[in-house]
Structure 1
Amino acid sequence: MLAKTSNMRVQKTIHHQSRWPGRSAGRKRMTCFSSALYLVLLLPCFVFADNSELFHLINERLSYMDEVAAYKWTHKLPIEDRKREEKILDHAIADGLTQGIRVETSRAFFQQQITAAKEIQHYWFDKWRSGAAPSGSPDLNKVVRPELVRLGQAITSNLNTASPKFSQDEFLAIIDVEGLSTLGKQQLHQALVAIEHYDHRLQQVLEAGLLRVGTTGDYAPFSFRTSSDLPFAGIDIDLANDLAKALNVEVRFVPTQWGQLLDDLTAGRYDIAMSGVSRNLDRQKVGYFSNTYHRGGKTPISLCKKVRKFDKLQKIDRASNRIVVNPGGTNERYVDQHIKQAEKVLHQDNRTIFDEIISGNVDLMITDEIEVKLQSARHAELCPTMPGKTLTYQEKGYLMPQDQQLKEYVDLWLALRLGDGTVASTFEKHLN
């Protein structure tokens, strides 16, 4: 990892060397060594970088500001862009929440980065006004900004390493970008060491005023939408809105997929998954489940004219049959564990998966009983092949990070909504 990081910095050093008129001759953007002493100091730099990777990332991001300035200069654009700055801050705060960073400290830190970036850009504008100006620049939108986004996300991911043990002297030694004053560096360091984290996820939700709900949008009646530009709908979407109202916070729906449900959870991209998620022991190893709000099981669905052909599992598991599954979920897991002869056909879009059965591209699907009831009601061609029977026992629950305070709140909210009939009426609304 250290060798890769250092190589990346050397490449960026070469890329920047003597690019813009007015830059000090021979100046290279190396973080803790000059080009003349590169080989001599290589090993010590690796050791130092091990304790200060965050500082190097900040320095590398700021080192792009001359290219940003050159693009704005050659395209006659102003340095100030308040709308874009707010957009950057919103994205930075959202990324910060994945790491549990307090909104106010996240905003202050990234605002200070923007201030430092503008100081560097003003430095180059002033220099070019009194001397030779740049003749060109890398494309800001296609080349530079993707790197700035990548580095910004890397900085956020490394903010957990920020600690008062990182002295200002160490920070000033690493932040070595032409055009940034000592005062600018000091203010950036102060904002960095002021970063604070929430004590637990429930506190984050309440104080940030935001509940981030992971949902797939491909599993009616729990969560569905027909295209990415339309809002989510379904049982769990309605209940998510109710939960947010109980918390007195806003709700934000975060698209996820079954195959990355746990990865998104551990990455902190959502606070709770509400998408008809089946409670199982593998998922419980990674997160906490709420209490159960629906019970059911797996059952087959096929064309009505093929019901007798697939009314037993032994008839289904034959080499001539094609069973369609959505990748990464419990449907695929069931087929992998119990179907040995029939062909498994992967279909990426769970929203159109039943069309595959209707068109004859596949023979059947084994999925949750509630989905079979809904889809057979929607499509006259489809029928359950084992009506009233399930192949498994299954419970639905809401998946959260391993945060006891959040789980206890959700469990109490759910118990109250089960008791007052809200859950039952929501199911009835979407099933009928």
Structure 2
Amino acid sequence: MRSSDGRANVRFGLVGRRLSHSWSPAIHAALGSAPYELVELEPPELEGFLRRGAWEGLNVTIPYKRAAFELSDVQSASARRLGVANTLTKDGQGRIIADNTDLAGFSWMLERFCRERLGRPAERVLGSGKACVLGSGGASQAVRAALEDAGAEVVVISRGGPCGYESLSGGNSDSVLIVNATPVGMYPDCPQSPLTKSQLQSMPLLSGVLDVVYNPTRTGMCLDAEELGIPSMSGLPMLVAQAALSSSQFLGSEFREEEVVGLCERLLSQSLNIILIGMPGAGKTSTGRSLARQLMRPFVDLDDAISLEAGMPAARYLESVGEDGFRRLESKVALRYGSQSNLIIACGGGVVVREENYRPLRQNGRIVLLERPLDRLSLKGRPLSRSRGVEALARERMPLYERWSDLRVHCTGSPAGDARKIRELLGL
């Protein structure tokens, strides 16, 4: 809660300038360090709040990590090493104790990624190998330190530094790991990437791609890596690990690795959209509504969203502007809802004909293909099915549905039954 003089009375919380999309309150609630509040401050407010605020434990994010370090009274070895702090507590004398749990949080994520995705400990993956870190800001410092501890030769890539992005196709093309430590690709500017797919493709020794950005779940760079068959991981494990380390300091408890793993899995399960695709008339809308009721999640029908945007029913809009005009609006709507989380989304049957729709839907979603025999598909209100024929549409679209989908469900005829089947297959 903010007071009139710009200070907040909180027990635990996150201090930053723009925090509306942070996942930290939910994470700390699960960890037990609650109530946990978001404290948005302008630069002139920071010192007064840290010095006089009635807080017990704080996390600090951009742009205040360096200032938090400088305003603290005692600093941990990690904070001194990096010159920035993301965790503040108070001792019995009221002194501000600064720590940096980003270093340990990224180290934990790096080790987990190397063991689970590459089959070797981080030191064996990186020992004497080259790792490129994109960006030179506060997050970059923690990432670089963790990579150096694992034995990597670390190269910092930045727009204004000695090694620019063009070096990834030149002198640094022998890197075994790329880590994005910039905010490029973070919600709502997603799914962007600091690199092109061709830059990743030009690195023959590249074994993995990591991104400290956690929202969206699959960043633009991770999507590119996925399409190239390169193992990747975005920043949720780092976020949860550093939060658990902070929480253990707030509460005076032990860091429990199994708790971090379980919380990462729960957050992913709760946050990923479920995207329903399939032929027109396959039952995406009715099944999606039933699934949303069962999971108590918001439901979005992209055709309904198009109708609202166009000011007329989607079928009539298609007939009035033609398929190209309809698909342009459909892509705009898919991007808007695909960037959000925790939704059930029913797509129109033709969403797959535009390849550009895949990444916005994939970035935060699990894509489920609903299959129903062609002779049981409804043609009502579906002008393309009537004009072009169901069989012709199926020949064009089925290979695309199959390539896009993470899961295929043969419809039973009951929307509620199909929804239950999807929940069972996804473990929800």
| Bigger Rg, structure 1 or 2 | 1
**Higher fraction of helix:** 1
TM over 0.5: no
- TM-score computed with the length of structure 2 as normaliser: 0.29
- TM-score computed with the length of structure 1 as normaliser: 0.29
